[in-house]
Amino acid sequence: MKTMTAAKGFDIPTTAARLRIYVSVQKRCLKTLSGWFLSVPHYEDKYKIGYHLFEHCEHVGMWRQRLVELRGGKPDASISPALAQLLNEVNDAPDADSMIAALYGIIIRSLHTTLTQHLDEADPSANAAELRLLRRILPELESQLDWFEQRPAGQVNNDWLSGVQNFLDLQNDGLLGEGSSSDQVKIPNSRPFRRPTTITFDDRIGHEKLMPYEQREQLNYDESLIEQFRIFFNEFYAAGFLATILYDALDEGGYPWEMITDFSQHFWDEVRHSEFGAIRLKELGTEPTGCNLTLFHEAENMPILHRIVYLTRGLEAYFMPRKQPRAKTYQDAGDLRSQLFADQDWSDEINHVRYGSKWSEHLLEDDYRTQDDVIEEIKQHLGKVRGVECVAIAAPF
């Protein structure tokens, strides 16, 4: 007589349904972090958000890749309305500290629990493909949660936070639950999220009029170095552009996932370039004190295509000729610490210009305009905002 053994492992439909939920949850983490990156006030939190956003993006890519291989995988299938509403609620947090408390303390923690259970219950052979992904993804989520637990909680809106927690509890099976209908749930103190039009900082970081390039070049080595790393710190303006591109593209929908991936990487790079500034300024015995957001404010409301072209074919192309000589100057001076950062920055920028060409070409595929036409439209826009004709795309620093 045949004996039945206890079922272990996940069949294809269950695996596909779970992976689609992981995709949706982590895609929403990416979207929420891109929008709130602009308004979380401490720059150190912004740096962490930059790293975490890119991790979520990579995880979504891994889950999607597996879904494409699965019979009936459908990586873009919609999730339950209740789960979608729960994830929207987190985006509509009343303030930054509450958003972080809900996104990390409730959503990412719950995702971590679900993935750990998946890992424990998977069959080592039949589910080997998912196990490989789980073993790579879980440690990164753990380190996100470690950061959250060590971060001072700030002023959290506890009524709203309990509302979000109750909503999740009503789903019966956490993020996997079919959930109760949205009209049974009323969460107090929600605030419909509007993508910010500025980048907010705490009062350590004011508006700074950065020294123009030619003037910096006249300074002695040490003074020039400090001014240059202030420019690195200011790359928050570029990270901010990318955050708006990611948020608006995910909000509008219909953009290829590969484009979101490239601009998530680009976003993370700009966050790191700003971090280079903060690290090096401290090493040189000073602190970052300001940002100049003029370029961001003048152009954040242009269409996505124009923001991409302005940043990558306009500004990044404008700054590019300085990159190689800078790395060489630091190398010749034996300042290998500064050279390390300048060299990485130069390499990243080459990639950014490539992303810009690739995606502006894609977005212009069914358009009668060329990239040069778009650049003309950007100059018109900047001329209107500034009240003086914009002859060429340039930066004041």
Which residues here bind Fe ion, judged by CB under 5 A? 235, 270, 273, 316, 349, 352
CB of 22 to Fe ion, least distance (A): 30
Q: Considering beta carbons, is residue 216 or 273 the nearer one to Fe ion?
A: 273
Asked if residue 300 lies in contact with residue 240, where contact means CB atoms within 8 angstroms, the answer is yes
Distance, CA of 338 to CA of 332 (rounded, Å): 11
The residues, ordered by sequence, that sit 6+ positions from 133 with a Cβ below 8 Å of its Cβ are 62, 63, 66
Closest contact distance (angstroms) between CB of 298 and Fe ion is 18
Of 95 and 235, the one with the shorter C-beta distance to Fe ion is 235
Q: Tell me the two tokens of residue 47.
A: 């740096």
Instruction: Please tell me whether residue 290 adopts helix, strand or coil conformation.
Output: strand
- Residue placing its CB nearer to Fe ion in the complex, 99 or 299: 299
Minimum CB distance to Fe ion smaller for 316 or for 343 = 316
**Nearest distance, CB of residue 162 and Fe ion, angstroms:** 41
Placement of tokens 């949205």 in the chain: 182
Is the separation of the CB atoms in 60 and 30 below 8 Å?
yes
Cα–Cα distance, 99 to 93 (Å, whole number): 5
Q: How far is the CB of 352 from Fe ion (least distance, A)?
A: 4
CA 326 – CA 82 distance, rounded (Å): 53
CB closer to Fe ion out of 235 and 248:
235
As a whole number of angstroms, the distance between CA 319 and CA 342 comes to 13
Min dist CB 290 to Fe ion, Å, is 18
Tokens of 3: 């004996």
Write the CB contacts of 228 (distance below 8 Å, at least 6 apart in sequence): 216, 326
Residue environment code for 376-396, b if the CB has 16+ CB neighbours within 10 A, otherwise e:
ebbbebbeeeeeeebeebebe
CB burial class (10 A; 0-12, 13-18, 19+) of residue 336? exposed
Question: Which amino acid appears at position 36 of this protein?
Answer: W
CB of 98: closest distance to Fe ion in angstroms?
31
Nearer to Fe ion, 95 or 349 (CB): 349
Quote the least distance from Cβ 102 to Fe ion, whole Å.
31
Smallest distance from Fe ion to CB 266, Å: 7
- 262 vs 270, beta carbon nearer Fe ion: 270
Question: Smallest distance from the beta carbon of 235 to Fe ion, in angstroms?
Answer: 5
Tell me 381's DSSP state.
H
Cβ distance to Fe ion smaller for residue 45 or 275: 275
Distance between CA atoms of 257 and 264, rounded to whole angstroms? 10
Q: Whose Cβ is closer to Fe ion: residue 257's or residue 346's?
A: 346
Please check whether residue 136 is in contact with residue 62, taking contact to mean a CB–CB distance below 8 angstroms: yes
